[in-house]
Structure 1
Amino acid sequence: MPSDMETRIVSLEETLAHQTRVIDELSDQLAEQWRVVEQTRAKLDRLTERFLSLEEQSLDAPAITKPPHY
């Protein structure tokens, strides 16, 4: 029959193993979320550049006037 001390040690080892697994899972999830954030940031940078480029092009466009037949 295991002693009370052995039971406590086994319980602590089980808890430690569970917490280690949970920490590893959280670390993996955090790494995945960081990858998604970096991809989103890169897309936002590209869209910002594209928007600024289109905005510059629209500023250079001639003013809209009525056609001569009006």
Structure 2
Amino acid sequence: MDKKTEPRLLALEETVAHLSRVTDDLSEVIARQDRIIDRISKRLQMLVEAEAQRQADDSGTIPLADQRPPHY
């Protein structure tokens, strides 16, 4: 290698190493967020089902979530 190419090559290698680390970090963040979203979605579904059951038990009518809005 000549003296002009070596510093550029080192700079490129540093940039690639930095980008590789950032990519790995972001991948971990996305995986963690995916797990959190799955857990929240399951909890939300359980709450919706529990509320529908509560409404059905209380009134014996169609749960509010399943009723048509009054403007229909």
Pairs aligned (count) = 59
Runs of 4+ in 1 over 6 A off after TM superposition: none
Question: Secondary structure in 1 aligned to 2:20?
Answer: helix
Paired position in structure 2 for 1:7 = 7
Indicate the RMSD between aligned Cα atoms, in angstroms: 1.0
How do 1:1-70 and structure 2 match up within 5 A?
A: 3-60=3-60
Select the structure with the greater relative contact order (CA < 8 A; seq sep ≥ 6). 2
Question: Secondary structure in 2 aligned to 1:3?
Answer: coil
Per-residue deviation, 1:41: 0.2
C-alpha distance in 2 between matches for 1:17 and 1:38: 32
C-alpha distance in 1 between matches for 2:23 and 2:16: 10
Task: Give 5+ residue unaligned stretches, structure 2.
Answer: 61-72
Per-residue deviation, 1:55: 0.4
C-alpha distance in 2 between matches for 1:32 and 1:58: 39
Q: Deviations over 1:2-45 (max 9, x none)?
A: 61101100100000000000000000000000100000000000
**TM-score, scaled to structure 1:** 0.81
Percentage of identical aligned residues: 32
Task: Give 5+ residue unaligned stretches, structure 1.
Answer: 61-70
